[in-house]
Amino acid sequence: MGATILGIGSAIGFASGSTASSAESETAPINLLTTVDFLQDEGESEAENICLQQNSPNLLINPSFEGQYTTYVPDTPIDDCPAGVCTTAQIPAGWTPFWRSHDDNDDPWIIRQPEYKPACIGTTPCPFPNRLRDGQEALQYFTFFSTHEGGAMQRITVTQGADYCFSGWGHSWSADDSDDAISGPVEGELYQKIGIDPTGGTDWTSTNIVWSDADNHPWGRIQYDEYGLFTVETTAESDHITVFVYSQPRFAMKHNDVYWDDTYLAQMTSVYTTSITATNDIIALTDITETVQISQSVDFSITGTGPLEGYTWTATITDPVGLTNTLPLTPTFNRSSGGLTETLVISVDTTGLITGSYAADVLITTDPITGDTPIRVPIRVYIVEEVSRVYLPLTIK
Ligand SMILES: [Ca+2]
Ligand SMILES: [Ca+2]
């Protein structure tokens, strides 16, 4: 009398599903200001600020450049600041200024140390309301009849491997006249950008830094006279990251003034959704004298928005849930881990098994974890003395 195997197996195909776009790189309409003979990007609207859509607290200290501004005292003395005190750099709490020092071999108007100050000069209401976006102060720095390369930075503790989004609002006033407080008609081609060093370094010249607006110009984009949104995203490669606001004008102007306000650093929420449809149905019926590879396609899909590169899964065998009087089963995998398009095939070898109920669960864990994972796939094998019933669907691959 030959024993009969009623078997269940599973094969899991990982489909990439809809791989939604990552960072929106939509370019806002180009407008020509009537007073400035230069094209500029209006920037994204607040509604498009992806950092605000992450359900994350703002991780920055003093993100709106508020409160008392104090004299910058570098940790190690620098030549630009006699006696180690930078009296012309008045800085809000939480932020550290940076700039390229003047090279004495250059003309005197080339790359000077900017002066830093509160845009509203500590006065409420702000006497220059167009320079304020949020709260009661904004960061202002400028060079007079000269150019600069500089900005401010902040280093923050984060979770290594998580994605972060940094946004900030900025604009500038670049003009060779003081007839009004708007840029042009002669202007200095003043660029702005923001960045993240995913390694947590504080060298603002580091090539590790991921910059916004890099597709426009290495120095960023021009954002004259009214606040525009700058955003950048990256994955933390350390337990710290450093954020930067940056500017550089090409030409010396009487006014090369830069304003920053209302920044936000968010840990980006995983917006993947995963789903798996596995069945407990018996899918094969065979005699023990036949050696069969029992498998079943199980649909596993990942959908949603967000960066999907680097998404991986790992499969492990674990004890079954909710069963008693079963014997342990040891399924085998074609691979125990993989990426989006790599298929997991679970196989069960029934050779030599005596009659009885066998069970194991396979746990599939994804990285990053999504809302529906880990996923538990039950594997059940019943070996009986003889065939008494046939279950459908019958699928043998
Ligand atoms: Ca502010
Ligand atoms: Ca002007």
Ligand 2 centroid to Cα of residue 185, in Å, is 6
For residue 131, is pLDDT > 60? yes
pLDDT at 273: 52
For residue 61, is pLDDT > 80? yes
Mean pLDDT to the nearest integer, 234-263 = 97
**Residue 298 pLDDT class (50, 70, 90 cuts):** low
For residue 41, is pLDDT > 70? no
Could you tell me if residue 322 is inside a domain?
A: yes
Ligand 1 centroid to Cα of residue 138, in Å, is 4
Domain finish residue from 211, 236, 267:
267
Max avg pLDDT among 153-162, 191-200, 337-346, 363-372:
191-200
Mean pLDDT to the nearest integer, 238-244 = 97
For residue 99, is pLDDT > 60? yes
pLDDT at 300: 53
For residue 70, is pLDDT > 80? yes
pLDDT at 379: 79
**Pair (215, 182) in one structural domain:** yes
**Which of 194, 141, 190 lies closest to 167, judged by CA?**
194
For residue 231, is pLDDT > 50? yes
Domain finish residue from 213, 235, 267:
267
- Ligand located closest to 173 CA: 2
Ligand 2 centroid to Cα of residue 260, in Å, is 20
In single-letter form, the type of residue at position 66 comes to E
**Pair (253, 282) in one structural domain:** no
**Pair (113, 258) in one structural domain:** yes
pLDDT at 370: 63
249/257 Cα distance (integer angstroms): 9
**Pair (123, 258) in one structural domain:** yes
**Residue 385 pLDDT class (50, 70, 90 cuts):** low
Residue 12's domain spans which residues?
A: 4-18+271-384
Ligand 2 centroid to Cα of residue 177, in Å, is 5
Ligand 1 centroid to Cα of residue 262, in Å, is 6
**Which of 264, 214, 226 lies closest to 43, judged by CA?**
226
Q: Please give the mean pLDDT across all residues of the chain.
A: 79
102/80 Cα distance (integer angstroms): 9
Ligand 2 centroid to Cα of residue 215, in Å, is 28
Ligand 1 centroid to Cα of residue 263, in Å, is 9
Ligand 2 centroid to Cα of residue 175, in Å, is 5
- Ligand located closest to 259 CA: 1
**Which of 308, 306, 161 lies closest to 237, judged by CA?**
161
Q: Cα separations (Å) of 70 from 38, 65, 100, 134, 166?
A: 36, 12, 21, 20, 25
Tokens encoding 268: 């980006």
229/39 Cα distance (integer angstroms): 17
For residue 92, is pLDDT > 70? yes
Instruction: Identify the residue with better confidence: 7 or 214.
Output: 214
Q: Cα separations (Å) of 8 from 258, 276, 313, 329?
A: 67, 17, 23, 11
Ligand 2 centroid to Cα of residue 180, in Å, is 5
**Which of 114, 247, 115 lies closest to 168, judged by CA?**
247
Ligand 1 centroid to Cα of residue 35, in Å, is 27
168/44 Cα distance (integer angstroms): 11
For residue 32, is pLDDT > 50? no
Could you tell me if residue 129 is inside a domain?
A: yes
Ligand 2 centroid to Cα of residue 40, in Å, is 16
**Pair (222, 110) in one structural domain:** yes
**Pair (130, 226) in one structural domain:** yes
> What percentage of the chain carries pLDDT values higher than 90?
52
Could you tell me if residue 393 is inside a domain?
A: no
Ligand 1 centroid to Cα of residue 337, in Å, is 47
Tokens encoding 17: 């599903």
**Residue 364 pLDDT class (50, 70, 90 cuts):** confident
Residues with CB under 5 A from ligand 1 (ion): 64-65, 134-135, 138, 261
Ligand 1 centroid to Cα of residue 38, in Å, is 28
Could you tell me if residue 97 is inside a domain?
A: yes
> What percentage of the chain carries pLDDT values higher than 70?
72
Tokens encoding 69: 């501004």
- Return the beta strands (E) in 26-133 as ranges: 30-32, 39-41, 69-72, 86-92, 96-99, 115-118
pLDDT at 11: 34
Max avg pLDDT among 38-47, 106-115, 274-283:
106-115
Domain finish residue from 248, 267, 286:
267
Ligand 1 centroid to Cα of residue 395, in Å, is 65
For residue 17, is pLDDT > 70? no
Could you tell me if residue 42 is inside a domain?
A: no
**Pair (155, 293) in one structural domain:** no
Instruction: Identify the residue with better confidence: 293 or 329.
Output: 329
- Ligand located closest to 129 CA: 1
**Which of 135, 206, 194 lies closest to 170, judged by CA?**
194
**Residue 218 pLDDT class (50, 70, 90 cuts):** very high
Find the DSSP H helices in the chain: none
Q: Cα separations (Å) of 372 from 26, 367, 369?
A: 31, 12, 8
Instruction: Identify the residue with better confidence: 303 or 328.
Output: 328
Ligand 1 centroid to Cα of residue 137, in Å, is 4
At which residue do the structure tokens 């500590």 appear? 122
Ligand 1 centroid to Cα of residue 58, in Å, is 14
Query: How do residues 107-118 score in pLDDT, each as one tens digit?
Result: 999 999 999 999
Instruction: Identify the residue with better confidence: 26 or 376.
Output: 376
User: Which are the contacts of 104, defined by CB distance < 8 A and separation ≥ 6?
Assistant: none
pLDDT at 269: 77
pLDDT at 308: 57
**Residue 258 pLDDT class (50, 70, 90 cuts):** very high
Diameter of the chain by CA atoms? Answer: 105
pLDDT at 262: 98
pLDDT at 351: 73
- Ligand located closest to 63 CA: 1
Ligand 2 centroid to Cα of residue 102, in Å, is 26
**Pair (329, 234) in one structural domain:** no
**Pair (233, 90) in one structural domain:** yes
**Which of 379, 397, 388 lies closest to 7, judged by CA?**
379
pLDDT at 45: 58
pLDDT at 369: 67
**Pair (196, 70) in one structural domain:** yes
Give me the torsion for CA of 312, 315, 321, 324, rounded to 10°: 170
**Residue 289 pLDDT class (50, 70, 90 cuts):** low
Ligand 2 centroid to Cα of residue 63, in Å, is 29
- The number of domains in the chain is 2
**Residue 245 pLDDT class (50, 70, 90 cuts):** very high
Q: What stretch of H or E contains 256?
A: strand 253-267
Ligand 1 centroid to Cα of residue 65, in Å, is 5
Query: How do residues 144-185 score in pLDDT, each as one tens digit?
Result: 999 999 999 999 999 888 899 999 999 999 999 999 999 999
207/198 Cα distance (integer angstroms): 11
Could you tell me if residue 103 is inside a domain?
A: yes
Q: What is the CATH number of the domain that holds 76?
A: 2.60.120.260
**Pair (190, 255) in one structural domain:** yes
SS3 129: helix
**Pair (178, 283) in one structural domain:** no
